[in-house]
Chain A
Amino acid sequence: EVQLVESGGGLVQPGGSLGLSCAASGFTFSSYAMSWVRQAPGKGLEWVSSITGSGAITYYADSVKGRFTSSRDNSKNRLYLQMNSLRAEDTAVYYCARFPTSIHTFDIWGQGTMVTVSS
C-alpha cells in the first residue's frame, strides 16, 4: 500500500524552529518528486515546497523562502522540512504529498501533522 506518514508537529514559540518528517512506503521513493502543502485552521491549501527525486533541486513559496528547508534521504525513504524563524502565520496542518512529474499533480497525501506557533 502506498502511504505517507508525517511526524514532528507540535507547539513552538515565535522565532523558534521545528523539523517535520514524512515516511514513505509502498513505492520507489527516489523516483518521485515530493512536496509540502499546508493548511491554516479553517483555511485553504497553500503549496510550501517541492524537491526533486534526487534531492538536487528544491523550490519554495515566497512566504517561507529563506526560513524553510526541504531535504530527503532516499536510503531511508524519508522527506524532511526544517522550519526556522517560525511565525504565527506558519500555524497550519502540514501535509507531505507525492508529485509524479508524469501527471503534474499531488496524487498521494499523508494525513498531516499540526504545527502551532504561539507564545
Chain B
Amino acid sequence: EIVLTQSPGTLSLSPGERATLSCRASQSVSSSYLAWYQQKPGQAPRLVIYGASTRATGIPDRFSGSGSGSGTDFTLTINRLEPEDFAVYYCQQCGSSPWTFGQGTKVEIK
C-alpha cells in the first residue's frame, strides 16, 4: 500500500500569503495518478488538481500543483490566499491499489 504523508499538518497564514503544501509518497506514483482535494467543514471534498498539475474545472489559477521527477514528492501551491481557500487539503493516489489519501493539511487563518 502506498502511504501518502502530508506536511505540515496545519499551516497558519494570512489572506494574501502563499501556501505551500507537501505530499510525499512511500513509493513512486505516476504524476497522472496524483490529485488534490479541498474540503471545508460539513462539505464534501472538491477536486482541485488532477494529474499532479492540472486544475479542475472552476479552480482559479492561484492554485498550482507540481511533482518531482522521483514520483514521490508532490506540492500544492496556493498563491495570494483568499478567505474561501482556508480549508483542509488532501492528496490522493490511484496509481496502485488500494487507492490512498494523505492525512490532510489544514490551512487556517492566522
Contacts and interface: CB of A to CB of B under 8 A. Distances in A.
Interface of A: 37, 44-47, 50, 59, 61-62, 95, 99, 103-112
Given A95-B44, A105-B94, A44 B103 contact: yes
A110 B45 CA distance: 9
A11 B51 CA distance: 38
10 contacts: A44-B90, A45-B37, A45-B45, A47-B101, A103-B50, A104-B33, A104-B35, A105-B35, A105-B51, A109-B47
B72 interface: no
A92 to B, nearest CB: 13
B54, B90, B101: which has the most chain A beta carbons within 10 Å?
A: B101
Interface string B75-89: 000000000000000
B18 to A, nearest CB: 24
Contact of A109 (B32, B45, B50, B101): B45
Q: Which are the 10 A-B pairs with shortest beta-carbon distances?
A: A109-B44, A105-B35, A105-B50, A47-B99, A45-B101, A103-B50, A104-B33, A44-B103, A107-B47, A44-B104
Contact of B92 (A45, A59, A62, A103): A45
Contacts of B7: none
B67 to A, nearest CB: 14
B101 A44 contact: yes
Interface in B28-83: 32-33, 35, 37, 39, 43-47, 50-51, 54, 56
B45 A44 contact: no
